[in-house]
Amino acid sequence: MAGEDAAWLDRFHGGDRQTMEECYRRHFATVQRAIRDILSREDGETIIHEVFSRLIGTPELRRSFRGGSFGAWIATVGRNLAVDYRRRLGREVSGDATPEGANGDTPAWGSWEDAAEARMLIDRFRGEQLRPEWQGVFELRFLHQIPQRDAASRLGINRTTLAYREVRIRRLLKRFLLEDPQEARGGQDEGEAP
């Protein structure tokens, strides 16, 4: 039996794909139970995936397990990550930023013309680029800067879904804002005939 344990430990330390998959399947619920009293369900899902992501991507973490009860070890790893995550959440700054400048009287965006132009650009982006199911994510995360967990809760979606949509929206927004004006007009110069 000791030889089998040593062989398994070698495969685990080496990051063997089948061994890692087996760990995930057998111990997902173990980590879930270990953190359920520390975090909400949505934040717990984030941490569970973080635990296994680190396990797969960090050889030093795998090597820190030297044998014994893998379930107890992975539960401790999950619990420690959950506690750290909860502490970070406690330090998170609220998304209730005001549009005022540092002295409290000058709007951060400058003149009303700048604000109107920004609003038109946002409306154009929303109308031309965003899928209907992404509108809420854009509104809460990009415009109102609501923390992820609160935004996911308000929208009734998983936090991982919200994070995925954020990444996609950010890419679309970057492309939209950085597009060449010539390309936006079909590549025509001012002197070219339409």
Q: How far apart are CA 27 and CA 72, in angstroms?
A: 10
For the domain covering 112-180, report its CATH number: 1.10.10
* Domain ranges across the chain: 2-91, 112-180
3-state secondary structure (DSSP) of residue 108 = coil
Confidence (pLDDT) at 102: 41
CB 139 within 8 A of CB 132: no
Q: How far apart are CA 86 and CA 111, in angstroms?
A: 40
Question: Looking at the DSSP assignment, which residues form a beta bridge with residue 107?
Answer: 100
Dihedral-angle region of residue 63 (phi above 0 means left; psi in -120 to 50 means alpha; beta otherwise): alpha
Q: How far apart are CA 172 and CA 61, in angstroms?
A: 36
CB 74 within 8 A of CB 27: yes
Residues 29-81 pLDDT 10s = 999 999 998 888 888 888 898 899 899 989 999 999 998 899 999 999 999 99
Fold agreement between 2-91 and 112-180 = no
For the domain covering 2-91, report its CATH number: 1.10.1740.10
The model carries a pTM of 0.48
Q: Which residues of the chain fall short of a pLDDT of 70? A: 1-3, 92-114, 180-194
